[in-house]
Amino acid sequence: MTKRKLLTALAVSSFFISITFYACNSESSQKNSDLVDYNFQIRPILSDRCFQCHGPDANKREADLRLDTPEGAYAALKENPEAHALVKGKPQLSEAFLRMTTSDSTLRMPPIESNLKLTEEEINLIKKWIDQGAEYKPHWAFIAPQKNDLPEADEDWVKNEIDHFAYAKMRAQGLNPNEEASKEALLKRVTLDLTGLLPTLEEQDAFINDESEDAYEKVVDRLLKSKHYGEKMALPWLDLARYADSHGYQDDGLRTMWPWRDWVIHAFNENYSYQKFVTWQLAGDQIKNSNKESLLATGFNRNHKITQEGGVIDEEYRIEYVTDRTNTFGKGLLALTFECAHCHDHKYDPISQKDYYSTFAFFNQVPEKGLFGTIDASFADPPNMKITDEDVQSILKFVNKKDSADMAVMVMKDSSITRPTYLLERGNYDAHGEAVGFALPESIMAFDTSKYPKNRLGLSQWLFDQENPLTARVFVNRLWEQFYGQGIVKTTGDFGMQGDLPTHPELLDWLAVDFMENDWDIKAMVKKMVMSATYRQSSDITEKHLKTDPENLWLARTSRIRVAAEHVRDVVLHSSGLLNLEIGGPSVKPYQPEGIWEVATSGRGLLAKYVQDHGEDLYRRGMYVFIKRTVPPPSMLIFDASNRDQCEVRRLRTNTPLQALSMLNDPTVQEASRVLAEKLVTQKNDVENKLDLAFRKIICRTPKSDELEVLLDYYEQERKYFKENPDKAKALLNIGEYKAVSARPVSETAAMMHTIQLIYNLEEALMRI
């Protein structure tokens, strides 16, 4: 069978398409394009239909049969020593295959009551795999990445190595790359992606008028040097690190962790290597020559919820904190569902409960209690560090400290005596099983105690060992999601058996190795991604795109992405000229509906009632809005922001009527519309020019003639209405605390305000296209 016929035969299933391409591009498949690949064709089937009962979890294993390991699959069956689940080359003697194909419903696997079944195509694929020797391989994510040769591509199109891989995949699907996006769209895209802000009119004019070959690269370099780059890059990390401004649980008291957020922004702006960035957060207190900056970085592991409720059992909640740190490490840095092994062996991935608690041991040495003080007694439970004015003037210059009082921030510190760690039966805090040491799952990479110290610093060294198969892959995949809308592995937080397969596995491996070879340089990797021809394509969608690749898996265009919740606020404030561009500092409390905090509180503490800020603090960026865990900012939740309750590596993107209502009625949007309208109506030019200017500020391109005509018609309708209803115009122009322009034509300003609101509600206003 030729490669083309094979692809045609499998085109009925996008699942089979994605997994077959990897096999066809592997070295073994080049020798025989008909060879079935276990990792990308067979394991997903077995994992989904078989591993729950015949997988890693010994407590749930049926018939003492394992199909997730070759030893288990080839072994004699316990109930019939003459039989074997799998016999290499002989499906007719393989009991597992016979049970999959039997007509006897009482014997068929998976059982009918499981509501799982195998398709005819899947059965044929398994049969072919057994015929070919039923070869097992380690899970693809647990094999160290290697650089493959670059696939052939159109040299007139490619800009860098990324494009070779993308081009080969899209052409295999019969797709051609889109044309490069217009200069206006490209500037808006890369500015949003690297700073979370819109390009100014001056920046738009400069780029459009720059005809040099390196015009785009100059823009990228400028944005990478921007102080706002660190803010944009920090936001996804705050989700991962579950950063919030309150402790959580019922009382949900105030905490002071914002200096750690300032450090994250600083680290991205200074381009700390990913190795340094993560090592300091995991073990900044244990590195050689540690100081207050590296100690502050360890606040990463104290961002979890902390109880301040009386009557709690200290040990129960202390275990909760260590559990959170362990789960965050597994999901955030390894993209594995470690939490599934908290109470029992993992049902799908080779992570035993003992593996879980051996990892748990690294985070179990902090001298902390379940309950330290009352709701307002401690804004930073010990261990903590003090930050003084002297610190801010010397080593912590990036901390935006606004008053002279010392403040405390929670950090990591291990006890002088090693606390024993036990496997907890069923995950119960007081059900001690066997004692465990410091270790990590050998399925990933063994923790060599002769090579690594048995502490969090050793954990970091293990994480950044060149042989670790996950660390680099996981981070470059997360970066890819930021700039392309979806990870090469769609399940950003799950590289395990139940996670999605990579669409471009060779590209993912190439990027991971390149990242390590370049000393984990984040800015270099970001630049490589946004400089590629793949990134620069237009987002225009053709009928062929919709028919062949509606999800844009094969990257023959750029995906249209709605900006993050925090950047919705940023876009509105920035385009209106209201945005306070200050970096860092304490979180702020902007406009919010009355009574929301009050109905969801214990009634105690400083956060019992919402006290709104005023002045410049009303116009800070979205990432600085105060997050109370039990009552997150409602305007943010509407646009899918994280509530920061636990580690989150991938936000969902929804489109709901509430989002449209928010853009129409949110006081921040209305105030921004008013302020921009006041600025425009006082300018000495005609209405058409004013609307053209507003459109360019918000949409970042010149409006088409028909678009401008619609806006002019709407403006005239509104102007006539407000001229007949001056009281309504005056009421509208009183929205918001920003001081109004005194000399303003009322009806014209109100009409312009509504027209600007209309522009803010266009799809392009909140879309990165």
- pLDDT tens, position by position, 280-303: 999 999 999 999 999 999 999 999
Over the stretch 475-507, which tens digit does the pLDDT of each residue have? 999 999 999 999 999 999 999 999 999 999 999
For 228-270, write each residue's pLDDT tens digit.
Answer: 999 999 999 999 999 999 999 988 999 999 999 999 999 999 9
24 pLDDT tier (thresholds 50, 70, 90): very low
Q: Which of 102-111, 382-391, 538-547, 744-753 is predicted least confidently?
A: 102-111
CB 341 within 8 A of CB 352: yes
pLDDT of residue 742: 78
3-state secondary structure of 592: coil
The predicted model gives 90-104 an average pLDDT of 91
pLDDT at 31 over 90: no
Q: Is the pLDDT of residue 11 over 90?
A: no
pLDDT mean over 321-345: 97
Give CA separation, 13 vs 7, 125, 489, in Å.
10, 13, 18
Q: Find the mean pLDDT for residues 378-382.
A: 90
Please tell me the least confidently modeled range out of 13-17, 653-657, 687-691. Answer: 13-17
Q: Is the pLDDT of residue 415 over 80?
A: yes
Of the candidate ranges 112-121, 414-423, 692-701, 721-730, the one whose mean pLDDT is the lowest: 112-121
**With bands split at pLDDT 50, 70 and 90, how would you rate the model's confidence at 309?**
confident
- pLDDT reading at 15 higher than 50: no
Place of tokens 């050689």: 288
| Nearest-5° Cα angle at 608, 603 to 614 | 160
pLDDT at 33 over 70: no
DSSP conformational letter for 433: E
- CA–CA distance, 425 with 427 (Å, rounded to integer): 5
For 233, 473, 522, the CA distances from 144, given in Å and listed in that order, are 27, 9, 20
Helix (H, G, I), strand (E, B) or coil at 596: coil
Contacts for 605 with CB less than 8 Å, ≥ 6 apart: 251, 252, 253, 254, 375, 376
Please give the pLDDT value at position 594. 92
Q: Pick from 80, 35, 72: which is nearest to 56 by CA?
A: 72
**pLDDT band at residue 3, thresholds of 50, 70 and 90?**
very low
Cis bond before residue 110 (omega within 30° of 0): yes
Query: In which band, very low, low, confident or very high, does the pLDDT at 19 lie, cut at 50, 70 and 90?
Result: very low
Residue 209: the pLDDT is 97
Residue 389: which H helix or E strand, with range? helix 389-393
| Nearest by Cα to 57 from 337, 320, 332, 334 | 337
Residue range 576-603: mean pLDDT, rounded: 94
DSSP 381: P
pLDDT at 43 over 90: no
Name the average pLDDT for the chain.
93
At residue 12 the predicted structure's pLDDT band, cuts being 50, 70 and 90, is very low
Q: Is the pLDDT of residue 427 over 90?
A: yes
Q: Write out pLDDT tens, residues 123-182.
A: 999 999 999 999 999 999 999 999 999 999 999 999 999 999 999 999 999 999 999 999
Rounded CA separation 86/104 (Å): 20
How large is the average pLDDT for residues 436-444? 97
**Contact present, 423 and 436 (Cβ < 8 Å):** yes
Whether 28 has a pLDDT exceeding 90, the answer reads no
Judge whether residue 1 has pLDDT over 60: no
Amino acid in position 493: G
Cα distance between residue 687 and residue 394, in whole Å: 52
Using pLDDT thresholds of 50, 70 and 90, give the confidence band for residue 80.
confident
254 bridge partner residues: 246
- Residue 249 region, left (φ>0) first, then alpha (ψ -120 to 50), else beta? left
Distance CA 734, CA 95 (A): 77
Point out the least confidently predicted range of 39-48, 350-359, 388-397. Answer: 39-48
Residue 52 to residues 340, 504, 733: CA-CA distances in angstroms?
12, 28, 62
